[in-house]
Chains A and B, each alone.
Chain A
Amino acid sequence: MSTLAASASKNASVRHDVPAVEVVDLTKEFRRRDRRAGRFARRRMPALKNVTFTIERGECVAILGQNGSGKSTLVRLLSTLLINDGGEARIFGHDAFRDTRAIRQLVNRVSVEASFFKKMSASENLSYAARFYGMPPSETRHKIPEILTKVGFPADRRREAMENLSRGMQQKVALARALLTSPVLLLLDEPTTGLDPRSKLEVQEFIRDVRAKHDATILLCTHDMAEAEALADRIGLLDRGELLFLEPVEDVKRRYDVETLEQAFFAATGRAFEEEHDEDDEYREVFG
């Protein structure tokens, strides 16, 4: 049995009678300084507006959106790193904002930045991270080399400081870190952004492999439409904090009577996918 499946099956906090993710009217806003209204004035900036969706167990769902659309805010809310302002989110039946310990056992995340202690090696970074999930040295001694091999990380570089590794290599270690803890919900926030084409394909292939062989549900947030189409069962579009749709790609194209997702975005929003970038987006990028 795979690491993921083994852990999932023995994990009592995974309920089988509920969806993997249930989000209802989820709302998040940030406050920003508004110099026009006065020195200490603040104004509310909505990052997510009444977002509602469900992800079934074992599904891979992609949420598309431009920079500042609220994708990272959504991932952070589901991984207990932000507190909502309204609505609710449940992961395998657990309230994401109250039952945080249970959620943290079930979820892991890969974000756009690899985020490691740069002077430490891949093995050291994975080792201490695994301890936080209750894995003793006797367990990680064989699991870390195993999982690094699985993500295609060269054995002779395991003890090298992270700062000497390429971005693609670091992202592989990030994937290994997420999988090492056997999450039943994997949150991927722009996992291939900034990677060279070869590394990008390797990471995408690995995501496919995780889906095929392990009992993991995947939420992929990306602005790469081709990646979303290639990996996901259903695709959602998050635009300025609003989820415009979440359905299979063919249904999206049929709904807007278009041939590509770019055209669907244009039909749904009236704007081209990459052209928008205003002051509020910059704010949302920083805080979202």
Chain B
Amino acid sequence: MSAIGARAGASRRATLRQELIGLGGIVERNIYLVKRYILWDLAFMIWTIANTLTIVFIARAVHLSPARENELATKLLVGAVIWAFLGIIFEFVTETVAWERWEGTIEYTFMAPLSRTTHLFGQAAFAVLYGLIRATILFFVVAAFIGIHMPNANFLAAFGLLAIASISFMGIGMMTSVLPLISPEKGAQLGFVAQGMMLAVSGVYYPVSVMPGWMQAIAKVSPATYALRGDRASVVNGAGVAWADVWPLLIIAVVAIPLGLLIFKRGERYAKKHGKLKRSG
């Protein structure tokens, strides 16, 4: 290998090392923050449980046979848990900008020699891990409270499919995280609009087939559609991870992640051009 080639290789390794340490820094910071706000998180968890109960109790009110009631409750529970899981991901990733602007640290983060890809990926990866933990707790607490029986459930498959879907969710989260850069006041709330719209077309509490044709067409490009369908099949019927659910998720992920990064970088450029990274000081 030539001297120039060896130097380039060493430089690439040094950059990769720096990026990995930076990625660890994002996770480290979020762990500190979760520790510091743990009581608030517990309070929010109680709200999420209460909210999920209001949905799952609907199954009790429709007067079905015990077996059908149990199945409906399980399907509603899966929908509510995925709603909560997506909420956490969107909240965390959108907060990439919003929280840092509120604390005043955004300029220090954006002037650090860390690639935006690593920055966003670190934030999204932590959001997925944290969301999975919370979603799991939520699922079992509500299931125990209502008394749902899941004798055939294949939790491993359900968890695995949710993890695969999370890659697409991360990409979509990256797209929405640009919103506070464009609108510092209202951008963060728009992330929740995206979350609600995605779940509305994905059959969060109902089958996709009950929606109008145009909504069913949109459902085909929503990763939540496949996550909900696959997870319901795993939890209710004990189905394994179906390739029919996996390949659309992988295709959506391959498109969503680069698109999310591209949109964020465009938004960052816009903010730097118009002085919107930070509004005071």
Contacts and interface: CB of A to CB of B under 8 A. Distances in A.
Interface stretch (B18-26, B189-197, B225-233): B18-26
B22 A119 contact: no
B22 A134 contact: yes
Given A30-B275, A83-B273, A286 B280 contact: yes
Nearest to B11: A12
A76 B107 contact: yes
A131 B275 contact: no
B103 A117 contact: yes
Contacts of B275: 30, 73, 76, 82, 287-288
Nearest to B103: A117
B7 to A, nearest CB: 9
Contacts of B33: 117, 119-120
Given A30-B274, A111-B281, A132 B103 contact: no
Nearest to A31: B274
6 contacts: A76-B107, A104-B112, A113-B104, A115-B103, A120-B36, A132-B109
Nearest to B30: A128
Nearest to A132: B112
Given A31-B274, A111-B281, A134-B21, A120 B32 contact: yes
B279 A128 contact: no
Nearest to A105: B113
Nearest to A181: B112
A81 B21 contact: no
Interface residues of B, number: 36
Interface string B71-98: 0000000000000000000000000000
Interface residues of A, number: 42
Contact of B32 (A79, A128, A288): A128
Contacts of B26: 128, 131
Contacts of A202: none
A128 B28 contact: yes
Which residue, of A82, A112, A134, A161, has the highest number of chain B Cβ atoms within 10 A?
Answer: A134
A136 B108 CA distance: 18
A135 interface: yes
A49 interface: no
A82 B113 contact: no
Which residue, of B103, B110, B274, has the highest number of chain A Cβ atoms within 10 A?
Answer: B103
Nearest to A131: B25
Given A112-B281, A120-B36, A128-B29, A136 B107 contact: no
Contact of B29 (A109, A115, A117, A161): A117
Contacts of B249: none
B111 A104 contact: yes
A105 B23 CA distance: 17
